Structure 1
């Protein structure tokens, strides 16, 4: 089996982009990935972030699906504490029935302070507990059996024969398609999300912060899977990386450093990676005696991004597999290439057709 190519459309857009620009770019990107043979297209959900501005991932998914043939879509992730879990369960089930096996679900508690403020919370501290109760409600709704529930955070129910308003109401079947996959993302080395995913047999998606972190994500998830009676499978393990490919290493680096990839790292992602200590593992892998404050764009191109010719990028991925074990999919983190899309589209196409398609897992 070949390594699968996916894309994580956060979308890391320039902050001046309008919603219409981002919507149209999202559809264009989905068509490009579908034609290139990508497996998954993951769409972020954020409410206040000017550089991650897609608050309604299911709108992008519903619009992109008829324009594509085989691409599989997921909201990655619905931030459960910010939704009514019963109605969200119905919307998820309905869309999954529309798309069938071209849809799966990502769930998360929410990790951005400003999104929490918008939704009436003082911060993100209490959100994981709310997520657990929300998931319990959603799973009850999907059973389509009568219940009424009042919990610590939510109240919900599902109507049965005793709840009819004087005449029979036929209840719609908006449960998810059978076997719908659920996935969770992990960021920090000691990610509680990876343990949570393993305990519930959800699939793990790892944001890369070095080989030690990647190995920790796998070890945490697989141990939790086994403890819960499930069998971990490396084909379910997805990692996310920046990728830029051209004919030569020098040309790929030149294009990457003049692209939206470099712009979003320089102006947005640097402080995020410093906050979550994601550079420590990458610096250790590089063998250089540096602090995060000493890193520059050249270091990123050489050690953080998978940047180079198809042969160089394939070699880097194969080295990573040798160091930490195999994984089923590598998702390219999307960036804002709206002003000059051709080099980025070429890179995406070559990644799927000249790199991942030739790496056996």
Structure 2
């Protein structure tokens, strides 16, 4: 049975991915403009990534980006998507996030993960095999600090002695906290045990899609064992999509920059052996079709097409997962800026309403249509009566 939310929310997961040929100053501005556009179009949230190497994912500090984005938007909620907890002392990171919570008047969300890029970990001398355990320890510490507790903890890689926040979160009891989940059960277990939301970043990948029902079951069981509750409406699903007025136009759009923004990145990371479908690609159209037919690691599987095509994909993910609360674009930047703007616009115009109480308007027009004869007849009769009344007044005068 699928549990569909009464009013699904929508947003974007902005890693982001950009061609190495682009101006690094201008791509930051374009990411900012995307968040501004989403705010105007009525999207609910944007999650901003943290990366420190490999060049393509060019935002190093989601907190800095969010601070500026908050000044340029009015409604959209802004999340760290995600803060790599193993790269920071938990007390300092908690303090920064709380400051953002106050600066944004409660529009901040805190997404947590271990750190995705092995090249980031290598520069910091971190063993990737230890990152998940390190993240859990850091997150436990941060949540205690958010809750106003005094923390004493020694994990070797960080120590906290009588640690406490000098200011508590603006949102009470605290801002929403989400844990990044990919394919393994670690993320769902941590989210459930700590009562956090799940942020399923690989939900459209083959393994990630298959794991969705198990992930919710694991999360619920872990929450129950810890005496906590979790809710499907706080579960977020990420997938790469692109919308255009026709499938042909959508294919043309994503063919434009997919080789530079996605394929080149995967190849430079040495992924050709793990992802045979990226080998031998020579054109953007070949790449777009290959991505739509295959899973490309945590990039998932691309859906391009009309609003109907993308809505159908969301329905599939709802059915597979059993229900979730928020659908997030993976901001892939395979299309150029104008086509990307059009995609987000079309999605807001024609996809969002299908999952946001569209039945109410349909029921209203159906009710009016069923009574059309009666209502139009009554209106015609009222018009005739008004004319006759006016004639009577003329005769009396």
- TM-score, normalised to structure 2, is 0.76
**2:386 alignment partner in structure 1:** none
1:220 counterpart = 2:256? no
Structure 1 gap segments, 5+ residues each: 161-170, 280-289
Which of the numbers 335, 348, 355 marks the counterpart of 2:351?
355
**2:199 alignment partner in structure 1:** 205
CA RMSD of aligned residues (A): 2.9
**2:313 alignment partner in structure 1:** 316
**1:238 alignment partner in structure 2:** 236
1:95 counterpart = 2:89? no
Q: CA deviation at 1:74?
A: 0.7
Q: Distance in 2 between matches of 1:15 and 1:52?
A: 10
User: Cα distance 1:142–1:21, how it changes in 2: closer, same or farther (>3 A)?
Assistant: same
The answer to which structure, 1 or 2, has the higher relative contact order (CA under 8 A, 6+ apart) is 1
Q: Distance in 1 between matches of 2:163 and 2:186?
A: 35
Q: Is the 8 A contact 1:86 1:157 kept in 2?
A: no
1:301 counterpart = 2:292? yes
- TM-score, normalised to structure 1, is 0.83
* Mapping for residues 1-361 of structure 1, pairs under 5 Å: 1-121=6-126, 123-144=127-148, 148-158=152-162, 172-175=166-169, 177-178=171-172, 179-188=174-183, 190-206=184-200, 207-208=202-203, 209-210=205-206, 211-258=209-256, 260-261=257-258, 263-269=260-266, 297=287, 298-301=289-292, 304-336=301-333, 340-360=336-356
Aligned residues: 336
Q: CA deviation at 1:199?
A: 1.1
User: Cα distance 1:236–1:29, how it changes in 2: closer, same or farther (>3 A)?
Assistant: same
Q: Distance in 1 between matches of 2:308 and 2:149?
A: 54
Deviations 1:158-211 (A, max 9, x none): 479xxxxxxxxxx842445213111111222x3311211111111111122133
User: Cα distance 1:146–1:311, how it changes in 2: closer, same or farther (>3 A)?
Assistant: closer
- Max radius of gyration: which structure? 2
User: Cα distance 1:149–1:299, how it changes in 2: closer, same or farther (>3 A)?
Assistant: closer
Q: Distance in 1 between matches of 2:71 and 2:291?
A: 37
Structure 2 gap segments, 5+ residues each: 1-5, 295-300, 358-397
**1:163 alignment partner in structure 2:** none
Deviations 1:63-88 (A, max 9, x none): 01121111100111111121121111
